[in-house]
Amino acid sequence: MNLVKKQRENRYRLGELFLETGLVDGSAISEGLSISKRTSFPIGRVLVMTGWLDDHDVNCALELQNLLREGTIDNRLATDLLRFCHLNKVDINESFRLNGITSSGESPQSRLGRLFFAAGIVDENQLAQAGREAQRHDMTLGSALLMLRFVSQKTLEGALNLQVMLRDGKVTFPEALAFCKEMHERQVSLREVLGDNGKLVRSNSAAPRIGEFLVAAQLVKNNEVLTACEIGTEEDNNIGRVLLSRGQLSELVLEAALKLQNMMQSRVFTYRRAVKLLRLVYKLGAPLEQIIEESQALDDVFKLLRRAAIVPEKIVRDVACEIVDFEDTVAEALLSRGYINPIHARIGLACLDRIRNGEICEDKAAFLIYHCCNKPGQEMEMFSRINWSELRRLQLRQDLLV
């Protein structure tokens, strides 16, 4: 029992704390203890008198010694905090805050919470309140902080981007703290803060980040991307996979988005064109390669649908007026805006193949499309029941043609 007590007391001795921190070496401690025994001066005072330490170091060590004895922190954290105090000339409270550690000696489980706390954007009580709200509403800490208006949208977005930059080694933690604090105080974007501090990271890539790409294609909302980004930084996962795991994105769409990113990087497609193709993948539920191949035939399909009066002329004219920079055709615009039913487009493509094979003419194709597509919910069933052999012999009267 006495041995255990002695070990606990040894663990909290100032000399050993200084030695473990690396502020003094073994010979200094031995000499200091010898002087302390002869003069009855505390070891800390002796190390100050002999020039090894200053009063600031000793005061910080005494505070940490008390926290150790209270069981608030452990030895490892004590040595890290004392070293930080020595190097940065800050007191214990500031050392706690700058390292994202609360007064209870605990570090917020969320990396985002640690960044905000260390930057002084939220205090311990606000962090705890946001944590409770996040648990109650099953949301991320960032969403809770935003809901409670402890941070703004710009600050949250910037902080999440800083997390990525920290992960990639583009900024240090002290830099991230300074940038985060400046964003919050000035209520400006991270881009502005980085630019003003000469740290703007310029990318030579022509491809947007996956989150921006998906938002531009209107497949996910901006707040969903923010949530996925926060989860991704906490779990060291990418946004696409997080959205996939949360059921907000399909494997087909994610695969297409990643391929289009590479194609934009290689200048195969412009950004606007890639957005349109991604929306077509989502609308038609088909692989990107098939969409690219079929998009070339989409205009011919559109002509058949138009001839079959499946698409009203007024809608065609209105959509045509909305097309910008010739990035997509009228047919693609109609499909991406939902004016062309994907099932009707499939039937049109099948009829187009029959036309190209010489099995039917355009008049019969238009008649078939009109016949099948006027049966909502039964289009493919009607199409599958067509007797193609009989149709080749059938002569359509003019009044049956649409």
The total number of structural domains in the chain stands at 4
Between residues 8 and 245, which one has the greater pLDDT? 245
Residue 402: pLDDT band by 50, 70, 90 thresholds?
very low
Domain shared by 294 and 263, yes or no? no
Domain shared by 13 and 32, yes or no? yes
Domain shared by 375 and 278, yes or no? no
Extract the tokens encoding 29: 């401690």
Least confident of 41-45, 205-209, 301-305: 205-209
Given this model, what pLDDT does residue 252 score? 92
Average pLDDT over residues 332-351: 82
Domain shared by 294 and 392, yes or no? yes
Domain shared by 197 and 208, yes or no? no
For residue 3, pLDDT over 50 is answered with: no
Alpha-carbon distance of 36 to 84, in angstroms, equals 27
DSSP 120: T
Q: In angstroms, what CA-CA distances link 42 with 12, 13, 51, 66?
A: 14, 11, 15, 16
Domain hosting residue 71, numbered range: 2-96
Average pLDDT over residues 267-278: 83
Residue ending a domain, choose from 96, 127, 146: 96
For residue 41, pLDDT over 50 is answered with: yes
Given this model, what pLDDT does residue 6 score? 39
For residue 299, pLDDT over 60 is answered with: yes
Average pLDDT over residues 365-389: 83
Residue ending a domain, choose from 267, 285, 303: 285
- The closest of 303, 306, 305, 286 to 294, measured between CA atoms, is 286
pLDDT digits (tens, 9 = 90+) for 137-146: 888 888 999 9
Between residues 295 and 21, which one has the greater pLDDT? 21
Between residues 37 and 332, which one has the greater pLDDT? 37
**Sign, CA torsion 188/189/193/196:** negative
Beta strand spans in 70-130 (E): none
Alpha-carbon distance of 118 to 98, in angstroms, equals 4
Domain shared by 305 and 376, yes or no? yes
Query: Does any domain span residue 103?
Result: no
Highest-confidence segment of 28-32, 39-43, 216-220: 216-220
Given this model, what pLDDT does residue 8 score? 44
- The closest of 214, 346, 343, 208 to 278, measured between CA atoms, is 214
pLDDT digits (tens, 9 = 90+) for 182-194: 999 999 888 888 8
Alpha-carbon distance of 331 to 311, in angstroms, equals 10
- The closest of 20, 22, 42 to 32, measured between CA atoms, is 42
pLDDT digits (tens, 9 = 90+) for 221-231: 888 888 888 88
Between residues 367 and 101, which one has the greater pLDDT? 367
Write out the H or E segment, with its range, that includes residue 196: helix 190-196
Domain shared by 122 and 179, yes or no? yes
Average pLDDT over residues 131-155: 90
pLDDT digits (tens, 9 = 90+) for 308-321: 888 888 888 888 77
Given this model, what pLDDT does residue 109 score? 58
Query: Does any domain span residue 122?
Result: yes
Domain shared by 297 and 215, yes or no? no
| 177 in Cβ contact with 98 (< 8 Å) | yes
For residue 9, pLDDT over 50 is answered with: no
How many degrees, rounded to 5, is the angle at CA 293 between CA 345 and CA 358?
65
Alpha-carbon distance of 57 to 47, in angstroms, equals 10
Domain shared by 394 and 298, yes or no? yes
| Cβ neighbours of 328 (radius 10 Å) | 22
Between residues 91 and 9, which one has the greater pLDDT? 91
| 274 in Cβ contact with 213 (< 8 Å) | yes
Residue ending a domain, choose from 96, 125, 154: 96
Given this model, what pLDDT does residue 1 score? 35
Average pLDDT of every residue of the chain:
80
For residue 306, pLDDT over 60 is answered with: yes
For residue 108, pLDDT over 80 is answered with: no
Domain shared by 391 and 306, yes or no? yes
Average pLDDT over residues 97-115: 67
Average pLDDT over residues 27-34: 85
Given this model, what pLDDT does residue 12 score? 63
Domain shared by 381 and 314, yes or no? yes
- The closest of 177, 163, 193 to 100, measured between CA atoms, is 177
| 273 in Cβ contact with 327 (< 8 Å) | yes
Domain shared by 249 and 333, yes or no? no
Alpha-carbon distance of 159 to 169, in angstroms, equals 15
Q: What are phi and psi of 212, to 5 degrees?
A: -60, -40
Query: Does any domain span residue 102?
Result: no
Extract the tokens encoding 70: 């209270």
